[in-house]
Each structure stands twice: as C-alpha cells, then as structure tokens.
Structure 1
Amino acid sequence: MYCHWRIHCFRAPLRRFASQADQDVQLARDWLKTLTSKTIPRNICEVSFSRSSGPGGQNVNKVNSKATLKVPLDALLPLVPRLIHHPLRASRYAAERTQCLIIQSDEERKQSNNVESCFDKLYQLLQSSAKEVIPGETSQAQRNRVQKLQRAQNEGRIKDKKKHSDKKSSRRGSKYDD
C-alpha cells in the first residue's frame, strides 16, 4: 500500500506537467492558424527610415527609403506562445543589448513598401520559429497504427512470459518425478 501511494504521488505532478505541455502546444497551434502578416499589432513596433545603400543613382542619395523595424521583445513575447520565445531570442534579427528584434528592408524605392516588407519578414520569422518548435498533429490513422503496434507488442511480451513460465515449471516438475 505504501509503495503504491508513493508511485501515485509522483505520477500526479507528471500528469499535470504533461497536461500543461499539451495545452501549451494546442494554444500554439491555434495561434499559428490565426497568424497573418496583418494580425501582427503595428502599435508595438517602432519604424524609422534612413538612406539606402548600394546602386540606385541619385534616388538612393536623396530619399530615406530604407525602413528599419524595431520590435521590443518585452512587447512581443506576451503576444506569442511560450514555446516560441527561445527561437525568437536566438534569431538572427535579435539584438541582445537592446532586447529587440531589428528588421531592415531597402528592396523597394517606396518607404511604405519597405515597411510592409519588414512586417512580412517579421511574419515569416514568427511562422518559421513556430513551425520549428510546434509538433504537428497526429492523424487518427497514425494513432490507430500505434495502438495496434502497442497491442501486438504487449501480446508478444505476454506470450514470452508464458513460455518462460512454462519452461521454469517444467524444470520444477521433472525434479520431483523420480
């Protein structure tokens, strides 16, 4: 009885932990389904403009068309699932000193297009980070297959135990049969 109680006490927190992890994964999946580049809140970001570099003639020298998007991690992380926090902090856009994501774009001649390009890059970063850490859902066919394999493994284990038991009992029986 004492041993059974100890096992039950140690398993209960593990079940709660597994349940919490399952909930986190499901929340992350739901969040990922609703994520688009338009659903990213624009008010948490700071946009600045500067002159582009590279070819482009006088336009590059005169117009501030390069967009820089600065997203504070303190404002972004509460909006995304916990599973994605680490990949975002480790991304190539993360600036450790300022605790921000800094995304730049100077591919277009217009400021507005470059701002949209920055938000598209942020969306792609969020999406790729999420797909990297969120496991896919298991199909019903896969679940059925796993259950069938588990049943077969259990039956094989029971068969082996029975065979071993018969072998042991046959040794015992022959010892006393003189």
Structure 2
Amino acid sequence: MLRCLARPLVPPAPLVSTPSLLLSATLRFFASQRSASDATADDIQAARRWLEKLDPDTIPKAICDLSFSRSSGPGGQNVNKVNSKATLKLEVSKLLAHVPGLLHRPIRSSRYYAPRSDSIIIQADDSRKQNDNTHSCFAKLHNLIVEAGREALPGQTSAEQSRRVKNLQKAENEHRLHAKKMHSSKKSTRRASGNSD
C-alpha cells in the first residue's frame, strides 16, 4: 500500500524582511505609477516647461558614467585600433531625481532600460570619433526623455483647434435637434391623420 507523505505547508519567505522596508518599497512603487490623469494642471504645465528647456547639452554629465570600447561599426581598420564606441550608463534613480514625476514610468519602460542594474544603457558606434559617438549617446538620452514626455503628457490643443471642435460640436447639436424636430413632426402628423406606427 502506498503511503502519501504530506509536507506541512510553509508560507514563502517575504521578499522584504522588515515591515518598514516593505512599506517604503510599496510607496515608491505607487509613486512611480503616477500618471497624467492623477496630475494637476500645474504639474503638467511644469513638466512641459521643463521639457522645453531640455536639450542634450543641459543633461548633467556628472550623473552619467561614460565608457569607450572597440567598435564594430563603420571605420575600416580604425575600429580595431581605437576605442571609439561610446557606452552611456546612467542609474535611473539619479536620472529621475532631475526629471518631473510624470515622466518616471515611461522612462522605466524605455527600450534602453536595463532592469537588472536599474540603469539606462545607451551605446553609439555610428562614427569613427569618440566625441561624435558621445554626443550621439546624449542625443539618444534626450530623445528618450522627450518621447517619455510625449507618452506621459496629454497633448496641447491650439486655440484654432479648440474653435474648430466647438464649431463641430455646435453643428452636431443643431443637426441632432433638427432631426428630433423632424421626427416629432412626423409622429404628430401620423397622430393627426389617425395612422399608427
């Protein structure tokens, strides 16, 4: 006869040992999940102003770790002799300290985000020159932040577009009221003549 050995159920060990660490990790997670729908108009305007001032040269170089290696890109024999490939590594926590909160989530979902190291890693080997590849890395980082802004912030409506939408809504409302009046007069004509629906 087979005997089943039953093991007592043991709950899995918690990922974070102390309640205060668990609470702070949870709060950080929910703070990073903040979206434009939760934000105030002032937050959105502040983020837009910040993005307008941003360019590849205004990104603080001190928070970035830049390294160079041999390239596999264009350059013939030069790629075997010179460390021209640029790799920009940036801890996300350092970057997010400089970026408006609305952009945090899209930055973490970027294709350059490396979850294991919690870093943004960007490489460039388009040019034979270190300097050009370095500039290309910062340009890609700038594009990443701008794309995060496009994803996170609602689009701005111009005054002309607002006027056009109001006119379309007004025309639609007039058309709807006209259709209701026509339907009502048709029903009243049927009632007056004694016909039913």
Same fold (TM over 0.5): yes
C-alpha deviation, 1:67, in angstroms: 0.7
In the TM superposition, 1:39-54 aligns within 5 A as 39-54=58-73
TM-score, normalised with respect to structure 1: 0.68
Match for residue 81 of structure 2?
62
Residue 100, structure 1, aligned to residue 119, structure 2: yes
C-alpha deviation, 1:29, in angstroms: 1.0
Change (3 A) 1:53 1:144: closer
Change (3 A) 1:41 1:128: same
Aligned residues: 158
Q: Distance in 1 between matches of 2:110 and 2:47?
A: 19
Match for residue 44 of structure 2?
25
Corresponding residue SS for 2:136: helix
Q: Distance in 1 between matches of 2:145 and 2:45?
A: 17
Change (3 A) 1:61 1:18: closer
Which of 109, 115, 120 aligns to 2:134? It is 115
Match for residue 12 of structure 1?
none
C-alpha deviation, 1:120, in angstroms: 0.8
Q: Distance in 2 between matches of 1:31 and 1:122?
A: 15
Q: Distance in 1 between matches of 2:42 and 2:124?
A: 36
Q: Distance in 2 between matches of 1:154 and 1:41?
A: 52
In the TM superposition, 1:86-165 aligns within 5 A as 86-144=105-163
C-alpha deviation, 1:78, in angstroms: 1.8
Q: Mark the runs of 5 or more structure 2 residues left unpaired by the alignment.
A: 1-35, 177-197
C-alpha deviation, 1:30, in angstroms: 0.7
Q: Mark the runs of 5 or more structure 1 residues left unpaired by the alignment.
A: 1-16, 158-178
Match for residue 10 of structure 1?
none
Corresponding residue SS for 2:126: coil
C-alpha deviation, 1:153, in angstroms: 8.5
Q: Deviations over 1:38-97 (max 9, x none)?
A: 11111110001111125622x222211111000111111121122211111111110001
Q: Give the 4+ runs in structure 1 shifted more than 3 A.
A: 17-20, 141-157
Partner amino acid, structure 1, of 2:152: V
Q: Distance in 2 between matches of 1:63 and 1:148?
A: 63
Q: Decide which moves more: 48-57 or 143-152.
A: 143-152
Corresponding residue SS for 2:76: coil
What's the Cα RMSD here? Answer: 3.3
